[in-house]
Amino acid sequence: MALRSLSATYMRGGTSRALFFDRADLPLLQGDDTAPWDRIFCAAMGSPDPWQRQLDGMGGGITSLSKVAVIGPPTHPEADVDYTFAQVDVTAPVVGYRGNCGNISAAVGPYALHRGLVRVEGDRASVTIHNTNTRKLIRARFPVEAGQLATKGNLALDGVAGSAAPIELSFPDPGGAATGQVFPTGLRQQELQIPGHGSVRATMIDVCNPLLILEAPDFGLAGDESAAGLASDTGLLARLSEARCLAAAMMGLVEAAEVARRELRNLPLVAVISRTEEANLRVRMFSSDQPHKASPLTGAMGLAAAAAIPGTLAHEMAQAATGPGSFRIAHVSGMLEVAAKGEFDIPEPLVTETTVLRTARVLMQGRVFY
């Protein structure tokens, strides 16, 4: 069968990259059946690849480089555009739509401007984005030159070479993005029984994305390990994968842990935390059962919210916030500062907003073959 192609734009958002498609160029989906998109996205990214390199597609062999964004007209009355995120599994023919990617969210506003989906007057753009995965709004504000995202700026992100213009991202009302509750199990911390490992303390929180928080010492870790060192520890990865699947069931994301192993390979994100003098909190993040080479942005925002709420593992371990709800989080590539606002000292904590600065860039526009 001859190769087919679609118009696409390749973009960096924060510490991730994604293929961006206009929704009008993709097949019309019937109900919840995403199979027509799944086939295109897997082929375009080069998945599944048992060698974890995605050499036959646009992916980069790791979760942060195996992403897709679909942009279209808004279906929310307050939004300028709709944005659907797809996480393409590297090794399996599985595409996840259950959560959002905060880093790729940073590129949505600039993409909408680049494609003429929104217009701006003056030197500042403000784009309201409806993330269809979580049914939440995201607000992006950024400087503009000649009607496009400014190309130069002084914001440097740890994990990304160089500097660029800052994109202010606001996630209003981020609690319960996937489950409808900040604490889906009703508890701020609890015991998690991992077969073959034993009992560990855990916090399960859903702010921007479902997140499982664990303590580094419970897994024999100091907390300062490199991504390569973590990736080579197959026993550790297996235990954390088991913990993730158990948490997915406990949080109500799937009916049973075995379903998460097959069908929900990217959620919840896993944060293994430890203390450090360099920041409020140190973390090693895991996405799709692999160590992240920086930090998923939604995971960092969930971790900041947890650190602000008494009774969570993150709150117990974190040093006092550097500002009102602001936390410096040390990750494997450097530092990330995020803020969480809300009412935290109440029986049912309310997270009203999370904010962060990111950068983005258009890398290529053309046609991708599948």
pLDDT tens digits for the chain (370 residues)? 788 999 999 999 999 999 999 999 999 999 999 999 999 999 999 999 999 999 999 999 999 999 999 999 999 999 999 999 999 999 999 999 999 999 999 999 999 999 999 999 899 999 999 999 999 999 999 999 999 999 899 999 999 999 999 999 999 999 999 999 999 999 999 999 999 999 999 999 999 999 999 999 999 999 999 999 999 999 999 999 999 999 999 999 999 999 999 999 999 999 999 999 999 999 999 999 999 999 999 999 999 999 999 999 999 999 877 777 899 999 999 999 999 999 999 999 999 999 999 999 999 999 999 9
| Domain contains 181 | no
| Domain contains 237 | yes
Angle between helices 102-114 and 297-308 (to 10 degrees): 130
| Amino acid sitting at position 181 | Q
3-state secondary structure of 288: coil
Q: Is 33 exposed, middle or buried (0-12, 13-18, 19+ CB in 10 A)?
A: exposed
| Domain contains 313 | yes
Report the run of H or E that residue 313 belongs to, with start and end: helix 313-317
As a whole number of angstroms, the distance between CA 63 and CA 201 comes to 26
The reply to whether 112 and 32 lie within a common domain is yes
The reply to whether 155 and 273 lie within a common domain is no
Block residue for tokens 């555009």: 81
As a whole number of angstroms, the distance between CA 250 and CA 138 comes to 28
The reply to whether 334 and 365 lie within a common domain is no
The reply to whether 11 and 44 lie within a common domain is yes
The reply to whether 40 and 170 lie within a common domain is yes
Domain containing residue 82: CATH number: 3.10.310.10
Domain range for 220 is: 190-347
Domain count, the chain: 2
The reply to whether 278 and 155 lie within a common domain is no
| Domain contains 63 | yes
